[in-house]
Amino acid sequence: MTTDAPLAPSAPPCSPHAGRYRVGADLVPAAERGDLTIADGVIEKIAATLVAQVDQIGGTARRVLGVPLGSGDPDGLPQVRATVTGSVVALEVACTVTYPAPIGRVTDQARRHLIGRIAELTDLTVRQVDITVTALRSTTKTTPRGLQ
C-alpha cells in the first residue's frame, strides 16, 4: 500500500518527487535521494554525549592559559574533536576518570561504546579513538589540612 501525504504548500519543487512523502513499495531509489553529510561538529556533540554515558568518565577541568582549574567536572561533558572524511570518523577525546577506577579498562569501554553507538546512530565507521585522561577525580571530599 502506498500513501501520499502532501507537504507544506510553500515547499518548492526540487525533484520529480517533491510535494509528497511516499510510504511503501514506491520509495525513491537510493541513488536518486541525494547525499547526506554529517558535519564534524555534529559528530563531536554526539560523541561527547556518548562518552559521558560511560561509568567513571567525567568532563574535563576548565583551563586558563593551559592550566587546569580543579580536577574536572564530573557532570560536564568530555571534550571531543572529530574529523569526518567520507564515511570514516577519527575522534580525539579529553576526559577525567574517577579514582581509583582502572584507567585502561574505563577508556577501552569508552572506546567500544563510541565505536558501536556512532556506527549505529550515523552509519559512519569510527576508525580511530584517541583518549587523553586529563585528570583523576576523587569521589570523596577532603578538607585541607589545618582547617577544621
State pLDDT tens for residues 65-119. 666 665 555 567 899 999 999 999 999 999 999 999 999 999 999 999 999 999 9
The verdict on domain 40-138 having CATH code 3.30.70.1350 is yes
Neighbours of 108 (CB within 10 A): 13
Looking at the chain, which residues constitute the CATH 3.30.70.1350 domain(s)? 40-138
What pLDDT does 60 receive?
A: 82
- Does 29 sit behind a cis peptide bond, omega within 30 degrees of 0 on the bond before it? no
Is residue 134 scored above 70 in pLDDT? yes
pTM of the model: 0.69
Neighbours of 124 (CB within 10 A): 18
pLDDT (tens digit, 9 = 90+) per residue, 30-57? Answer: 778 788 899 999 999 999 999 999 999 9
